Amino acid sequence: MIRKVDLVDTLIHKGQRKRLVEELRTKGISSEVVLNAIDSVPRQWFFPKDFDQYVYRDAAFPIDHGQTISQPFTVAYQTQLSGVSKGEKVLEIGTGSGYQAAILLAMGADVYSVEFILPILQQTAHLFQLLEQKISLFHGDGSLGIPGFAPYDCIIVTAGAPNVPDTLIQQLKVGGRLIIPVGNTKEDQKMLRITKVSTTQVKQEIFNDCKFVPLKGQLGWQ
Ligand code: SAM
């Protein structure tokens, strides 16, 4: 388990973050709010210990239990697509390392996040406790959302789904956005943004190809 003394953020880390922000800008991330959040969150706190040289590469990296901390570009891209603004209520599905959640917190969102794998959730909950950050974390099957706290302004799914779970659309406010990678195979997806236009209508937009670990659970991959 990470300890408070491990939460360092050196000038080298800060410099590497600035370079990462510029790299993300050249790759098409234009939201200053998102770029500022990337600049302000020390990714090394969410990253496996002893791999410091990989922290600010724009790449996903393995964490425990066969899962990954998402690529910074992917985190920035999903966050930009979500259009999340300060004070909005956001549900993240797939807490993992907590990095995406930390970016949303840095943007002033009210963050709810659910993780399927209990030891991952426990480790990340411990980290947020050390950071004294207010976040609502849940252990469970996020393919079903967290209906008890719905409706949400935004739902961001950080694992690849076989379909768009209807239950997640039901948990959006009117005007709410669901950002979800969906694909016919477990390995490849396309990023979708589903906007709930009215209580009965949605608008679907299709964006980049992407590669996420599979969404598990009832409405995920069995
Ligand atoms: N958001 C994470 C981050 O910032 O590092 C990256 C998440 S990782 C790519 C995907 C996570 O989704 C894994 O931790 C995995 O255990 C979790 N997951 C997969 N299926 C899930 C489900 N049905 N409900 C909740 N979490 C799920």
Q: Which domain holds residue 84?
A: 4-210
Residue 222 has pLDDT above 90, yes or no: no
> Does residue 42 line the site of ligand 1, with CB under 6 A?
no
10 found inside a domain: yes
193 found inside a domain: yes
CA of 77 to the centre of ligand 1 (A): 17
pLDDT digits (tens, 9 = 90+) for 137-171: 999 999 999 999 999 999 999 999 999 999 999 99
Residues in CB range of 30: below 8 A, 6 or more apart: 80
222 found inside a domain: no
pLDDT digits (tens, 9 = 90+) for 181-203: 999 888 899 999 999 999 999 99
220 found inside a domain: no
Residue 209 has pLDDT above 80, yes or no: yes
Q: Which amino acid is at 9?
A: D
> Does residue 181 line the site of ligand 1, with CB under 6 A?
no
CA of 185 to the centre of ligand 1 (A): 17
pLDDT digits (tens, 9 = 90+) for 85-131: 999 999 999 999 999 999 999 999 999 999 999 999 999 999 999 99
Q: How many domains does the chain have?
A: 1
| Mean predicted lDDT score pLDDT of the chain | 96
Model-wide pTM > 0.95: yes
Q: Contact, 192 vs 169, CB < 8 A? A: no
78 found inside a domain: yes
215 found inside a domain: no
94 found inside a domain: yes
48 found inside a domain: yes
Q: Hey, which of 47, 73, 216 would you mutate to test ligand 1's pocket, going by the most ligand atoms within 8 Å of its Cβ?
A: 216
Which of 87, 85, 101, 94 has the alpha carbon at shortest distance from 45?
101
CA of 140 to the centre of ligand 1 (A): 11
> Does residue 67 line the site of ligand 1, with CB under 6 A?
yes
pLDDT digits (tens, 9 = 90+) for 36-82: 999 999 999 999 988 999 999 999 999 989 899 999 999 999 999 99
Instruction: Give the pLDDT confidence score for residue 121 in this predicted structure.
Output: 97
Q: Hey, which of 117, 136, 167, 182 would you mutate to test ligand 1's pocket, going by the most ligand atoms within 8 Å of its Cβ?
A: 117
Tokens of 217: 């659970």
CATH code of 46's domain: 3.40.50.150
